[in-house]
């Protein structure tokens, strides 16, 4: 059962997407629960044809399109993005398949308030093509990581990870599907922690319930 907007005295988040938006859907579904401490107040996308926009519209969520191709420089794109996000005054920005690298000014503007989901067990396989690289490397396990965003790509402090075994007959597609299931589990969990005030970033360290998160929670499917 979903709750009404009248019941939503909770933390606002903005989700940034570029494509299909399956992690966005997991967040939307979680936010519909009666006990959820956060609300998706807006979805911002850099592609006008992204399917994730339909997911947001189907749930009555405000959408904004900031097409990076309309801006001659990354800084101009980032400034337009910040101006749009700030209209909603979110407590948290969640990158969910957002395929643009934002600059230092953007990251500093939202320091400690940006999270990302990455399809590998960071620090292994930052960047793209993680599933192909895991198979080529002979990895025995693979997975997903939620982390705070910093100026170094895919190198921000880890919040939570979830691992899956790499099977002998795996292809990049089968491995990706199992990892995606874990992404859908751990991203809403991390956002809940933040919205509940249990999770924060302090001097580059992740704090969960006031303690340094030295041993990252890992769940194996």
CA-to-CA distance for 181 and 127, rounded, in angstroms?
20
Which residues partner with 200 through β-bridges? 207
E-assigned strands of the chain?
A: 11-17, 38-45, 63-65, 92-95, 114-118, 141-148, 158-165, 199-202, 205-208, 211-212, 218-220
**Phi, psi for residue 179 in degrees, rounded to 5:** -65, -40
In the set 118, 142, 147, 216, the catalytic residue is 118
SS3 of residue 180 by DSSP: helix
Catalytic-residue membership of 68 = no
DSSP letter (8 states) at residue 2: B
Taking the alpha carbons of 104, 98, 65, 46 in that order, is the dihedral positive or negative?
Answer: positive
Residues acting as catalytic residues = 118
């Amino acid at each position: 059962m979903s709750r009404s907007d009248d019941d939503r005295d909770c933390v606002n988040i903005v989700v940034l997407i570029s494509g299909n938006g399956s992690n966005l859907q997991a967040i939307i579904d979680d936010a519909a629960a009666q006990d959820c401490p956060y609300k998706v107040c807006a979805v911002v996308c850099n592609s006008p044809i992204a399917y994730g926009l339909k997911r947001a519209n189907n749930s009555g969520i405000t959408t904004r399109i900031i097409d990076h191709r309309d801006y001659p420089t990354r800084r101009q794109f980032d400034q337009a993005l910040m101006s749009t996000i700030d209209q909603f005054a979110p407590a948290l920005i969640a990158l969910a398949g957002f395929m643009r690298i934002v600059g230092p000014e953007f990251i500093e503007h939202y320091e400690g308030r940006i999270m990302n989901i990455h399809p590998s067990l960071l620090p292994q396989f930052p960047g793209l093509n993680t599933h192909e690289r895991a198979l080529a490397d002979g990895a025995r396990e693979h997975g997903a990581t939620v982390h705070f965003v910093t100026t170094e790509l895919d190198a921000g402090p880890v919040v939570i990870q979830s691992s899956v075994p790499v099977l002998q007959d795996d292809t990049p597609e089968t491995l990706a599907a199992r990892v995606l299931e874990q992404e859908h589990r751990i991203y809403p969990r991390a956002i809940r922690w933040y919205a509940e005030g249990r999770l924060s970033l302090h001097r580059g360290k992740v704090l969960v319930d006031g303690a340094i998160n030295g041993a990252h929670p890992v769940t194996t499917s």
